[in-house]
């Protein structure tokens, strides 16, 4: 069996972490199975490498190939100033309708943490990926466009806005919210999780964030009513609880009572904040994997950026990309290989052989290079 995986190296530290990660993913598959299954890696171009070789940052050929693909991985991409792209990453997510950003957050033994009990953190965040303020609908203060919009809002809608405002629009739809919650519930049921928590700021933004909450509960009742129950309701043999929390209160909850939360479904901006905050509790973005997923394509990637200040210095932590590779293998159904990678990463961390970002958090750690970390993980498989 062979699965084709398209990959984009990425910018900055991208090539370095790819050199460390890809051999580990291949070796984990080889060591886990005797049936000859392999991955066929096919490179696509985006970012600075695409600009150098093809004269554009996001070639149409790349989007076309990804639009027909099932599996892909990418490194971090820089959004060039003045390119016409608000964000290469956001453009790809919107163009390919990768509506669910999924980030599992768990603790690895050996990592020093700013919280007392990081081992209690074991959550999976489902962040809506195409709507909310990340839709990028905004106008600059003083522009002709914003003046027209402010005049319309004043004269037609009776909204009192300062004439010097910059204005952004926060679109949220029933379709976008429900498909995100649907995927979160299906995942929770498949994985035997106990709860899905809808996180929102609906006490203030009632018709966007509040609507996300309402649509989430509607979806759960309409499509999963026989297997879900609400907070405070009798369980009656149904395995999955659906509940909600206000976003700011949820930040306190994940610090004080993380063990009470399994799967989180939330809006775009809240999900960005919350997933990074949770990653900080268990060691930082260097060990935070993720995937942007649509109905057909799953695009796996590290959650950190390009880290240009250390690019080319063999200092970057490849852990996030390595663990994203483990997620990829899980998504293929090759669970044994995915778990082999996670155990190998934990083994190396407990030996206190880590890259510079983690060495400062672990007393007595030995600082090693990006490539050396990859080599050690490979040996521990």
Render pLDDT for 63-108 as a digit per residue (tens, 0 to 9).
Answer: 999 999 999 999 999 876 555 566 788 889 889 999 999 999 998 8
352 to 184, 323, 324: CA distances (angstroms): 35, 18, 21
Annotation marks residue 134 as catalytic: yes
1-104+285-380 CATH: 3.40.718.10
Residue-wise pLDDT tens digits, 95-152: 999 999 999 999 888 887 888 888 999 999 999 999 999 888 999 999 999 999 999 9
Task: Give the CATH superfamily of 113-132+171-282.
Answer: Isopropylmalate Dehydrogenase (3.40.718.10)
Phi, psi of 378 (to 5 degrees): -60, -40
Query: Which residues, other chains included, contact 150 with Cβ-Cβ below 8 Å and sequence gap of 6+?
Result: 161, 163, 165, 167
- Please report which confidence band the pLDDT of residue 205 belongs to, taking 50, 70 and 90 as the band edges: very high
Residue-wise pLDDT tens digits, 337-371: 999 999 999 999 999 999 998 888 888 899 999 99
What are the binding residues? 78, 87, 89, 93, 103, 127, 272, 317
Annotation marks residue 201 as catalytic: yes
* H/E element, 290: strand 289-293
What are the binding residues for Mg(2+)? 272
Q: Which of 49, 74, 178, 201 is catalytic?
A: 201
SS (HEC) of 39-93? EEEEECCCCHHHHHHHCCCCCHHHHHHHHCCCEEEECCCCCCCCCCCCCHHHHHH
- Residue 3: count of CB within 10 angstroms of its CB: 17
81 to 11, 85, 136, 322: CA distances (angstroms): 14, 8, 16, 29
Residue-wise pLDDT tens digits, 290-315: 999 999 999 999 988 899 999 999 99
Distance between CA atoms of residues 222 and 209, nearest Å: 20
Start-to-end C-alpha separation, the chain: 21
Nearest to 98 by CA among 107, 89, 109, 106: 89
Annotation marks residue 49 as catalytic: no
Q: Which of 11, 272, 330, 357 is catalytic?
A: 272
Tokens read off for 328: 């990829």
Distance between CA atoms of residues 3 and 10, nearest Å: 21
By the 8 A CB rule, do 91 and 139 touch? no
Q: Which of the 8 DSSP states describes residue 258? A: G
What are the binding residues for D-threo-isocitrate? 87, 89, 93, 103, 127
Delimiting residues of CATH 3.40.718.10 domain(s) in the chain: 1-104+285-380, 113-132+171-282
């Amino acid at each position: 069996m062979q699965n084709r995986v398209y990959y984009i190296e990425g910018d900055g530290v991208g090539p370095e972490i790819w050199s460390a990660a890809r051999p580990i993913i291949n070796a984990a598959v080889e060591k886990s199975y005797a049936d000859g299954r392999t991955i066929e890696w096919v490179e696509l171009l985006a970012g600075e490498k695409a600009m150098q070789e093809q004269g554009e940052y996001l070639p149409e050929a790349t989007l076309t190939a990804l639009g027909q693909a099932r599996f892909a991985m990418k490194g971090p991409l820089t959004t060039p100033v003045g390119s016409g792209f608000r964000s290469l990453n956001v453009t790809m997510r919107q163009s390919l309708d990768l509506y669910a950003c999924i980030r599992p957050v768990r603790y690895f033994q050996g990592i020093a943490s700013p919280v007392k009990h990081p081992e209690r953190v074991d959550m999976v965040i489902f962040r809506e990926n195409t709507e909310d303020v990340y839709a990028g609908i905004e106008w600059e203060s003083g522009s002709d466009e914003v003046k027209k919009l402010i005049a319309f809002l004043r004269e037609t809608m009776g909204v009192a806005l300062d004439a010097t405002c910059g204005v952004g629009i926060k679109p949220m739809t029933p379709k976008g919210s429900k498909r995100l919650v649907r995927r979160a519930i299906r995942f929770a049921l498949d994985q035997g999780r106990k709860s899905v928590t809808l996180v929102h700021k609906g006490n203030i933004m009632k018709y966007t964030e509040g609507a996300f909450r309402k649509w989430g509960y509607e979806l759960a009742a309409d499509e999963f009513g026989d297997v879900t129950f609400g907070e405070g309701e009798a369980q009656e043999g149904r395995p999955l609880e659906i509940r909600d929390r206000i976003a700011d209160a949820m930040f306190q909850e994940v610090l004080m009572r993380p063990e009470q939360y399994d799967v989180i479904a939330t809006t775009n901006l809240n999900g960005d904040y919350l997933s990074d905050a949770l990653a900080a509790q268990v060691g930082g973005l260097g060990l935070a994997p993720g995937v942007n997923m649509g109905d057909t394509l799953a695009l796996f990637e590290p959650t950190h950026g390009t880290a240009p200040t250390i690019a080319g210095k063999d200092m970057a932590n490849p852990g996030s990309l390595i663990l994203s590779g483990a997620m990829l293998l899980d998504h293929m159904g090759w669970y044994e290989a995915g778990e082999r990678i996670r155990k190998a990463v934990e083994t190396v961390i407990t030996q206190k052989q880590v890259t510079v970002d983690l060495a400062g958090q672990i007393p007595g750690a030995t600082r090693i290079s990006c490539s050396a970390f990859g080599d050690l993980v490979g040996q521990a498989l």
